[in-house]
Structure 1
Amino acid sequence: MSELGEFLKAKRAAVAPEDVGLPAVGNPRRVPGLRREEVALLASVSVDHYTRLEQGRVSAASENLLSGIAQALRLSREEHEYLRMLVQARPRRGRAGDAEVAAPLRDLLASLTTPALVLGPRTDILAWNAEAVALFFDFAEIPPPQRALVRMVFLEPRFRGLFVNWSQVAAEAVDRLRVVAARTPGDPRLNQLVGELSVHDSDFRRWWAGHGVRTLAGGRKHLNHPVVGELELDWQVLQVLTAQDQTLVTYTAPAGSPSHEAVRILCSWNAAIPVMGGNPEAGDSYSSAHSLDGDTASH
């Protein structure tokens, strides 16, 4: 079954008939939640048309139809938008330029005094500054093909162990990854990443099967850093308008807070580290500042 079908099936199962004013007839039911014909009734569409949509046999759907289904299944605003993306999705392959970070963006990264990362379309960490190394660790130690942020949340102990509320962080990461997958259907590298995480982590499998959807662009993370102790950091995702599918992620603490002072001290110990990054496909690296040994930086 397609992702669209799996999503609609999961959302049907999550809605009880009595929750939407329908009698809970036919007990015990063969399937939990709403039947297809009940969704069709609530969405004012024929059962045949809804069935073909769920089975992936409809190439387009009107906004009225999608709104009716969203209301019937009690979808959130984010889930409604996700449904729209799934219906309108067209396969799009990643381009070689996805991993290239322009010099002006690297210069901006180097000028920041707060931890920051540049992410690619699959959460690949394309570039980072010295402050990010201080907060997390040196991402150059991770092979470029494995340098996806969501992968590290689950499979990199140094990263996973930083978060006090790891379960919340990880669940949100899975929900955001599902939105990424809807935007780039048929991306083989993204499919490979989902497959790897599904094989190696039972929590990822469970959350991925739950079909959660989230498009958070900011929030607060609670960390327990091995050097400076507890930190409360606000994170923001900023779209890079000059580079499709790239985002700048920053981690800041309120001025004057204990976390702000702790991060300042932590970063001062790593001030000599240049901005780093590379092409995950080619395995190369670069630095926007001079490297430590006068050649390509590798530390």
Structure 2
Amino acid sequence: MLRERAAPRESAGARRRRTPGLRREELATLCGISVTWYTWIEQGRAPQVSADTLARLADVLAVTDAERRYLWEAAGLAPQRAHRRTPRVSPAIASVLERIASPAYCLGRYWDALAWNKEAEALFPDWLGSQGQERNLLRFMFCIPAARDFVVDWPQRARRLVAEFSADAGDLAGEGQYEELVADLGRQSAEFRAYWQRREVSFRDPAVKTFRHPVLGLAVYEQTTFASLVERDLKLVVLCARPGP
């Protein structure tokens, strides 16, 4: 039980406890709720638990990200992203990137490229290469002129990208970095502003992407996106070259 893992806050000289963890009375006090209400929560009898109460409970119990996610889903609430740390690319994921022979990269919560392999750097020189000015995928697509020539059928791909981001960021509303990104993109790009106002949503399904590469010429890839079970806001995108005719 999570309560048994929590360390009690005892004064010096207090007698050693027979059972580990916090008592219900202590946990309720730390969370600022009644013992009865906490007992109902623990027993699954509470009719509706607020996000604020769950946040205090999760903080006192020092739960893991996976446990926090479970708490919110069990209560029928949207995951509380504000308490999640910035997603990181673990050594294991970095190793996977290196071993993938096709272009592959990891996107974070706001679609910043957090890591990529050398194949992706070669495919996207103006984004992931040393001369790249923007690591954010949306900023690259809408604010870097070279992207319009590089991405074949740019208007359709750009519109689809905005719809995918809109679906992916459905619970980011109110977060400062998210609001700043959307507002800045709207100021810099009339196309982004128009697409965003459409309020279209679309999942990142497997899709065929065609690029006009300075060395490869027309390069066609099949894109697949994988989600991490550990780092919920992390995505691994892999592009496999499509066989020629």
Check conservation: 1:89, 1:185, Cα contact below 8 A. no
Give the Å deviation of 1:161.
Answer: 2.2
Given the alignment, which residue of 217, 241, 257 partners 2:229? Answer: 241
| CA distance in 2 between partners of 1:116 and 1:189 (Å) | 25
Match of 2:24 in 1: none
Question: Per-residue CA shift, 1:172-219, capped at 9, x if unaligned?
Answer: 111112123312222211111111110011111111111111113220
Q: 1:229 to 1:155 in 2, by over 3 A?
A: same
Match of 1:120 in 2: 108
Check conservation: 1:198, 1:205, Cα contact below 8 A. yes
Give the Å deviation of 1:142.
Answer: 4.3
Given the alignment, which residue of 185, 190, 205 partners 1:202? Answer: 190
The answer as to 2:221 corresponding to 1:229 is no
| CA distance in 1 between partners of 2:166 and 2:129 (Å) | 24
Q: 1:223 to 1:94 in 2, by over 3 A?
A: farther
Match of 1:108 in 2: 96
Give the Å deviation of 1:254.
Answer: 3.1
Q: 1:154 to 1:173 in 2, by over 3 A?
A: same
Q: 1:153 to 1:94 in 2, by over 3 A?
A: farther
The answer as to 2:82 corresponding to 1:93 is yes
The answer as to 2:175 corresponding to 1:187 is yes
Q: 1:90 to 1:240 in 2, by over 3 A?
A: closer
| CA distance in 1 between partners of 2:97 and 2:165 (Å) | 24
SS in 1 for 2:219: strand
Check conservation: 1:92, 1:186, Cα contact below 8 A. no
Q: 1:244 to 1:91 in 2, by over 3 A?
A: closer
Match of 1:35 in 2: none
SS in 1 for 2:111: coil
Given the alignment, which residue of 163, 167, 173 partners 2:155? Answer: 167
Give the Å deviation of 1:222.
Answer: 1.4
* Corresponding letter in the other structure for 2:231: A
TM-score relative to the length of structure 1: 0.52
Check conservation: 2:122, 2:129, Cα contact below 8 A. no
Q: 1:151 to 1:236 in 2, by over 3 A?
A: same
Q: 1:245 to 1:90 in 2, by over 3 A?
A: closer
| CA distance in 2 between partners of 1:189 and 1:226 (Å) | 34
How many aligned residue pairs are there?
Answer: 169
Check conservation: 1:152, 1:160, Cα contact below 8 A. no
Identity, % of aligned pairs? Answer: 30
TM-score relative to the length of structure 2: 0.63
Question: Per-residue CA shift, 1:100-129, capped at 9, x if unaligned?
Answer: 210010000001110000011111100000
Q: Gapped runs of 5+ residues in structure 1?
A: 1-58, 60-87, 259-299
Give the Å deviation of 1:244.
Answer: 1.5
Q: 1:91 to 1:112 in 2, by over 3 A?
A: closer
Q: 1:176 to 1:94 in 2, by over 3 A?
A: farther
Give the Å deviation of 1:168.
Answer: 1.1
Give the Å deviation of 1:91.
Answer: 6.3
Greater RCO (Cα-Cα under 8 Å, separation 6 or more): 1
Runs of 4+ in 1 over 6 A off after TM superposition: none
| CA distance in 2 between partners of 1:245 and 1:218 (Å) | 19
Give the Å deviation of 1:95.
Answer: 3.9
